[in-house]
């Protein structure tokens, strides 16, 4: 996810799964938060991405992502 919200919006409209994880167990929401991409985080949350997975995921990425979502969106 390079940050192209128009493309991601098109994928969402086509029914792409929002909470699918990568082989490293990261969701698109985690990737957007990790990259400090507020627009993408908002888009994914508005479309129904599971922010609970962020808070429940182990490791430092979850803490960084949770802080981003909690304080910047």
What's the confidence (pLDDT) of residue 53?
73
- The Cα-based distances of 31 to 41, 43, 63 in angstroms read 9, 13, 13
Tell me if 7 sits within 8 A of 44, measured CB to CB.
no
Q: Reduce the DSSP state of residue 14 to 3 states and report it.
A: coil
Band of residue 10 on the pLDDT scale cut at 50, 70, 90: very high
Given the structure tokens 């992502």, which residue do they identify?
65
What's the confidence (pLDDT) of residue 52?
76
pTM higher than 0.95: no
User: Distance between CA 72 and CA 66 in Å, rounded?
Assistant: 10
Q: What is the pLDDT of residues 15-70, one digit of tens each?
A: 999 988 888 778 888 888 888 888 998 899 899 988 777 555 555 455 555 566 66
């Amino acid at each position: 996810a390079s940050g192209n919200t128009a493309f991601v919006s098109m994928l969402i409209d086509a029914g792409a799964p929002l909470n699918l994880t990568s082989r490293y167990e990261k969701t698109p929401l985690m990737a957007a938060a990790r990259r400090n991409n507020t627009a993408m985080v908002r888009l994914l949350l508005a479309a129904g991405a599971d922010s609970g997975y962020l808070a429940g995921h182990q490791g430092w990425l979850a803490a960084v992502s949770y802080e981003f979502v909690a304080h910047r969106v």
